[in-house]
Structure 1
C-alpha cells in the first residue's frame, strides 16, 4: 500500500471514529500513519547518506532517522521494513563512520530478517557489506563467499549494476589471493556490465581496481 493510500485510509478512519462512533478504528489509523512515518524516515535518511558521498560530512540526524524507522517497523511486525532500516544503520556505521565492529551485528540481523521476508535484494546488500567487513579484517575466503552469494542473488534479480559493484570487491580479493587471471576476468565482466547498465561510478571503480591487479 502506498503512502498516499495509507494517508487516505487514516482520513477515512478518522471520519468513521468521529461521525459514526466506531470503536478501535483510531488504533488502526495510528498503524497506518506509523507505516508512513517509517517509510519517510528511511527515505530522508537515505538522502542524507547520499549527501555524505558529495561532501564527506555525516548528517547528525541520519542515525536517528534510521533508528526511528527500525523502531516503527518492529512495532508494526514488518520484518522486511525492519531489515531495510537495520541495513542502513549498519551502512552508516560501516561506510560513514568506518566502524565494522559496530556495523556487523546490524548487517547480520538485517540479513536474517530479509531471508525471513524472502527479499533477495536486501539479502544481497547485507551480504555485500558483510563481505566488505570480512575483507577489511583480512578474512579473504569468507569475504569471497559473502560477495559471491550476493552476486548470485543479484544475477537472479537481473540487478546488473549491483553485480558489477560486487565484482569490484571480488577483483581485489582475487588479486590479494594471487589469482591474477581471475581478477582480470572479473574486471572484464564487470566493465561490460557497468557499461551496459550506464553505471559510470562503478566503471571508474573497476578501472581503478584493474590498475592495481
Structure 2
C-alpha cells in the first residue's frame, strides 16, 4: 500500500467517523473551508485542493448544489489566473447544475462572472446581454444583493 493509498484510506475512515452516513456533509464542509481560505484568508493555494476534494465528494454523493459551489469558486481561481476558457467552462457547468436544482439567484450570480469573462475577451455586447439575463433572474428571485452586483458589473463593463 502506497503512502497516497494510506492517506486516502485515512480520509475515508475519518469522514465515516465524523460524518457517519451523511454523504453530502463532507463535500459541503470542505467547500466552506475552502471558501474561508479563498475569501477571508486570500489563500487560493490552500483553497483549491479543498474545492477539488469537495467537488469529487459531491459528485460521488450526487450533491449537485455543492458541486455548483465548488465549480463556481474554481472558476474564480481560473479567471484570476487568466485562464478564461477554463473559468467559463466551470461557471457554465455550475450554472447547468444550478438550473437543474432550481437556484435562479445562483444562476444570476454566475452570469455576472460569465459577463466579466466575456468583457475580458472583448465581447462587451455579450457581457451586457448576460447581465440583462442575470438581472431578470435576480429580480424574479428577489436577490437584491446580487442585483447590486449586477449594477456594479454593468458600470465596470
Could you say which TM-score interval applies, normalised by the shorter chain?
0.7 to 0.9
Partner of 1:160: 104
Name which structure has the greater RCO, CA cutoff 8 Å, separation 6+: 2
- TM-score (ref. length: structure 2): 0.87
Distance 1:78 1:157 in 2: 19
Distance 1:96 1:164 in 2: 23
Distance change in 2, residues 1:145/1:91 (3 Å): same
From 123, 129, 132, give the equivalent of 1:188. 132
Structure 1: runs of 5+ lacking an equivalent: 1-70
Within a 5 Å distance, the mapping from 1:166-185 to structure 2 comes to 166-185=110-129
Distance change in 2, residues 1:77/1:158 (3 Å): closer
**Cα offset for 1:73?**
4.2
Partner of 2:44: 100
Number of equivalences:
144
Of 77-86 and 140-149, deviating more is 77-86
Distance 2:42 2:16 in 1: 26
Partner of 1:210: 154
Partner of 1:82: 26
Q: After the TM superposition, which parts of structure 1 deviate over 3 Å for at least 4 consecutive aligned residues?
A: 71-74
Structure 2: runs of 5+ lacking an equivalent: 1-12
1:130 is the counterpart of 2:67: no
Of 179-188 and 75-84, deviating more is 75-84
Rg: which structure is higher?
1
- TM-score (ref. length: structure 1): 0.65
State the Cα RMSD in Å.
Answer: 1.6
